[in-house]
Amino acid sequence: MLTGKFFDSVHGIGGRVVAMTKFGVHLRGSVNDPHDFSEQCSKVEELGFDSVWLADGLTRGMPEPFELLSCASMSTTRIKLGTCVYVLPVRHPLVTAKLSATLDQLSGGRFIFGVGVGWKEEEFQAVGVPFSKRGRVADECLQVLLQAWTGNVIDYHGDFFQIKGVRMELGPEQKPHPPIWVGGNGRAAALRAARFADCWIPTDYTVEEYEKGRVLLRQACRGINRDPNELKTASHLMVIIDRNQHEADRLAKEVADSLNEKVEELKKWTIVGDPKEVARRLNEYNTVGVSYHVLNFATKVRDEERIQMFAREVLPSFK
């Protein structure tokens, strides 16, 4: 496992190691204008964020994340490039191994592999993968990936994949492999993270849900004799930020309406407020052990303005 590389630390009072908070931005990419996406990534890098992320979906309108992140790797030098999250069970793991290794090589070892099991049943039906068994398929994909990335001959015999005598000659830049972040909410995802991951990243969890989830995570680690301190916890949160609380609330209402949801419900799992309130809410997550935040800025317009506001008025609070 790669641990600690993407979570720099400093020594606090009495020599206690305290994790520094880092932030990534969940961007929306377009195959129609990859240059625009690359420019967005460059700006996010200049603003001081640690990473950019793309979502995945086999049949949905979003682009294939490996291809678009490869474009971003050419226009950036420092920022990390992540998938949040890549739907493992709908692709063959050897294809995934080749694509991920290529991106890690192109980026000079800046790839973070966020993975999940997926939720859209029709995608699984289309590729002949049993939806009810997608978790088990994902686990086998991870086992194959860990073998494939070594460059050694693969000898794998599972319920879903039978691979013998194959060697992937192109491996990732990072050794032994890119960091694996397991997404998903609930017990199954936490158990998968304990087995395979460097980090667990649920989506839209409240602070209270993180407290309960981290208890489950520690139990899962101890069940396989893994040190729970090796496994980091990240958030994947929607942030609705504006210059004052009134404007942020107004925007939250627009977002809620677009999702056919009551704004009161939206606010239970979304951070809404001016920069001071957003910083306060994020710090609540930090107090329960979240050390990295991947932020979705919610709106399809003026994202750049809100990202800049966050970088200018919130990021300094965590440095």
pLDDT for 270? 96
pLDDT for 124? 97
Share of the chain above pLDDT 90, in %: 86
pLDDT for 31? 76
Q: Does residue 148 belong to any structural domain of this protein?
A: yes
Q: How far apart are CA 172 and CA 149, in angstroms?
A: 7
Q: Does residue 167 belong to any structural domain of this protein?
A: yes
Report, as an integer, the average pLDDT of 147-155.
96
The DSSP bridge pattern shows strands 180-183 and 162-167 to be unpaired
Residue 186: pLDDT band with limits 50, 70, 90: confident
Residue 2: pLDDT band with limits 50, 70, 90: very low
CATH code for position 25: 3.20.20.30
Q: Does residue 90 belong to any structural domain of this protein?
A: yes
pLDDT for 292? 97
pLDDT higher for 201 or 14?
201
Sequential DSSP letters for 58-123: SSSSSPPHHHHHHHHHHH-SS-EEEES-EEGGGS-HHHHHHHHHHHHHHTTS-EEEEEE----HHH
Q: How far apart are CA 224 and CA 193, in angstroms?
A: 12
Q: What are 3-52's pLDDT values in tens digits?
A: 333 333 333 323 333 347 999 999 988 777 888 899 999 999 999 999 99
What is the CB neighbour count within 10 angstroms for residue 244?
13
Closest CA to 27 of 16, 14, 38: 38
Q: Does residue 142 belong to any structural domain of this protein?
A: yes
Q: Does residue 91 belong to any structural domain of this protein?
A: yes
Q: Does residue 217 belong to any structural domain of this protein?
A: no
> Residue 149's domain spans which residues?
21-178
pLDDT for 300? 59
pLDDT for 172? 98
Q: Does residue 125 belong to any structural domain of this protein?
A: yes
Q: What is the dihedral of CA 73, 79, 80, 84, to 10 degrees?
A: -90
Helix intervals (H) in the chain:
34-46, 65-75, 93-106, 121-127, 134-148, 187-196, 207-223, 245-258, 263-269, 275-287, 303-313
Report, as an integer, the average pLDDT of 93-114.
98
Q: What are 260-283's pLDDT values in tens digits?
A: 999 999 999 999 999 999 999 999
Q: What are 207-262's pLDDT values in tens digits?
A: 999 999 999 999 999 999 999 999 999 999 999 999 999 999 999 999 999 999 99
Report, as an integer, the average pLDDT of 60-64.
88
Q: How far apart are CA 227 and CA 310, in angstroms?
A: 34
pLDDT higher for 186 or 108?
108
Asked whether the predicted pLDDT for residue 202 surpasses 50, the reply is yes
Q: Does residue 10 belong to any structural domain of this protein?
A: no
pLDDT for 121? 96
Asked whether the predicted pLDDT for residue 289 surpasses 50, the reply is yes
pLDDT for 302? 57
Q: How far apart are CA 77 and CA 19, in angstroms?
A: 24
Share of the chain above pLDDT 70, in %: 93
**Number of structural domains in the chain:** 1
